[in-house]
Structure 1
Amino acid sequence: MPPRAGRFRARGRGDRLRSIPVLSLVLLTVASACARPGSFEGLMDLGVCDPGTTTFTTEIDNPYLPLPVGHRIVLEGGGLLVRITVLDEVKDVAGVQTRVVEEHEEVDGRVVEVSRNFFAQAEDGTVCYFGEDVDIYDAGGQITSHAGAWRADGDRYLPGIFMPASPEIGQAFQQEVAPGVAEDQSKVVALGEVTEVPAGTFEDTVTMLDRNPLDGSEDTKVYAWGIGLIVDETARLTSYSTPGT
């Protein structure tokens, strides 16, 4: 199976075989210093993303994960290219209208995965994650798997917290709530760090340590105010565009 290195999940250990830029090493050091065994205990209450008690919108304007229609970011590094596009499309998941965000991944110029991710914003500003459809491609360009796909169903699979309304250091939360399929967790390990990437220098950022309990893998991601994801381990933001800018 190709490396699952994309934006919306914790990366498998195989991706660590690629060389890691100095910036990523620094970020990993910060994350390691903040994360200790048991540090993901005390996860935030998922009630904020409960379809039965919360009002949602597809107009997602959380400052660290803005998802306006047409917003696009491109990250590259270590042979990996990740292109994330907010589509002018909504999907009903668990009775909630969600915004569809497409993630296109290539490794060494070959498409390895395309996913459609489902987000909605709770009334307090929390970005909730309702799952993803996944197509994984072989070397011949044929779809061979849908591994990792899940959708909240209001029963066994539940919406997770993808980005808190007001991130604070030490916050830990369940991003994916699909037991045995997708269980990614994330923790805020730094705030306000200045981060330089090919697309520019960003002064107001949130650094997250992501963990996949299913395989024990961890990775570091950085989100910038007004942009969203700018660092995903070896991949760093090379370009972005937002309608009206």
Structure 2
Amino acid sequence: MLQPHERITALGSALMLFLMTSILASCAAPNAAPDTTTGAPASASPAGTPTASETSSPAVSPTPTPSGPELCGPGSAIAYDPAAFQSTPKIDNKWFPLTAGMQYTTTGTVTNAEGTTERTVIHSVTGLTKVINGVKTQVLWDQDLADGELVESELAFFAQTESGAVWLFGEYPEEFEGGEFIGAPNTFISGISEAEAGIAMRVEPRIDTPSYVQAHAPAVGLLDCGDVVQEHEKVCVPTGCYDDVLVIDEHNPLEPGVGHMRKFYSAGTGLVRVTAVGGDNQETLDLVKAEQLSGAQLDFVNQEALKLDQHAYEVSTSDYAKTAPAEVAAETSGG
């Protein structure tokens, strides 16, 4: 997995590390509506009661956890309830839309003491789904290239609550060096090895709301923290000028040398720019292309993502191998 100043997936992959010892001892009431301010779903069924989606996953059956450590500061306790998510993923949050067959390309540079690297990241929304921790997720395939050479190929898994919050359920990032596969040491899957899903995008992101956990995987030392820092910004990139842009800060407080990442989201489009604040690496990525793939192109994307999914069972035998295989849900692109 790329470092926080390099990740644009998930949140993305990519994608912190901030641990506080305060604990919020609050519980959500059964059948309570999801919190539309933070995007955290409240408990919709008694703790320990399995749902239909829970029984479809070979992973350990999840239970709602409406309270826990405030990992990214006051008000950031993860409140995960599998019953709050859609039975079939349809991610149409206006800031984070993921429609099967859409492909987004961002380009830019990363500059550090060693020089400047040209970077290209291709985000392909596949037609695949995968059940993780009791929830059927949408599969995103990211390809990260440095000076034209593939350095990472990643699957990321997202799902949306009925109220509209998008959550990240895990990442499988294969790393390459000199064109050769060197491993996937930063794999994490929600519900396995104490990893937890986190909020990729709130329902109504605002600057006056608390920071939130985007992903938590202690086995790989991961804790992504997000915070809305600007609203109603105007940003111009090669694909055009966007008004009413939302800016989210992602950071790694336990590694201050890494600095912060700023992600710029436009309503209806999604991510349009990434910049770095502080740290040793200065990075800028801009959206240069957003296109709807043809049916044949989507089929190719699906097949490549399935190969990655299958390879993951050989590589990540302790975590990924405990999940159900990805399945093709859409073989042709939408309109």
TM-score of the pair, normalised by structure 2:
0.60
**What CA distance in whole angstroms lies between the structure 1 residues aligned with 2:218 and 2:100?**
31
Q: What percent of counterpart residues are identical?
A: 29
**1: CA distance, partners of 2:168 / 2:182:** 25
Distance 1:155 1:149 in 2: 11
Shift of 1:212: 2.4
Query: Judging changes above 3 Å, is the alpha-carbon distance between structure 1 residues 90 and 214 closer, same or farther for their aligned structure 2 residues?
Result: farther
Q: Verify the 8 A CA contact 2:102 2:291 in the aligned structure 1.
A: yes
Residue 120 (structure 1) aligned to one of 143, 156, 159: 159
TM superposition shift of 1:180: 4.5
2:281 aligned with 1:230 = no
- Is 2:175 the counterpart of 1:136? yes
In structure 2, list runs of 5 or more residues that go unmatched.
Answer: 17-71, 110-117, 276-283, 293-332
SS of the aligned residue for 2:191 comes to coil
Q: Distance in 2 between matches of 1:225 and 1:69?
A: 18
**Residue 75 in 1 paired to residue 106 in 2?**
yes
Matches within 5 A, 1:1-245: 5-7=6-8, 8=12, 9-10=14-15, 40-47=72-79, 49-51=80-82, 53-56=83-86, 57-78=88-109, 79-139=118-178, 141-153=179-191, 156-171=194-209, 172-181=211-220, 182-216=222-256, 217=258, 218-233=260-275, 234-242=284-292
Q: Give deviations 1:70-94, integer Å, cap 9, x for gaps.
A: 1111110111101101000001111
Distance 1:239 1:136, change over 3 A: same
Q: CA deviation at 1:148?
A: 2.1
Separation in structure 2 between the aligned mates of residue 188 and residue 222 of structure 1, nearest angstrom: 10
Retained in 2: the 8 A contact 1:189–1:209?
A: yes
Count of residues in Structure 1 that have an aligned counterpart in Structure 2: 215
Offset at 1:3?
6.2
Partner of 1:35: none
Tell me if the contact between 1:6 and 1:105 (Cα under 8 Å) persists in the aligned partners: no
Distance verdict in 2 for CA 1:10–1:69, change over 3 Å: closer
Q: Tell me the alpha carbon deviations over residues 18-45 of structure 1, each in whole angstroms, 9 at most, x when there is no partner.
A: xxxxxxxxxxxxxxxxxxxxxx522434
Equivalents in 1 of 2:182, 2:269: separation in Å?
A: 33
- The 3 A distance-change label for structure 1 pair 2 and 163 is closer
> Quick one: which amino acid aligns to residue 239 of structure 1?
K
- Measured in 2, the distance between the counterparts of 1:177 and 1:110 equals 29
In structure 2, the CA distance between the partners of 1:127 and 1:230, relative to structure 1 (3 Å rule), is same
Structure 1: gaps spanning 5 or more residues: 12-39
Q: Which moved more, 1:175-184 or 1:94-103?
A: 175-184
Contact 2:142 2:155 in 1 (8 A): yes
Correspondence for 1:14:
none
Provide the rounded CA distance (Å) in 2 between the counterparts of 1:186 and 1:213. 11
Which has the larger Rg?
A: 2
Q: Is the 8 A contact 1:206 1:223 kept in 2?
A: yes
Letter in 2 for 1:55: F
Regions of 4+ moved over 6 Å: 1-4
TM-score (norm 1): 0.81
Q: Distance in 1 between matches of 2:3 and 2:147?
A: 12
Q: Quick check: 1:73–1:240 contact (8 Å CA) kept in 2?
A: yes
Larger mean CA deviation between 209-218 and 97-106 belongs to 209-218
- In 1, Cα distance between the equivalents of 2:153 and 2:122? 10
CA–CA distance in structure 2, aligned partners of residues 214 and 93 of structure 1: 28
Give yes or no for contact 1:10–1:212 (8 Å, CA) kept in 2.
no
Distance in 2 separating the partners of 1:211 and 1:165: 21
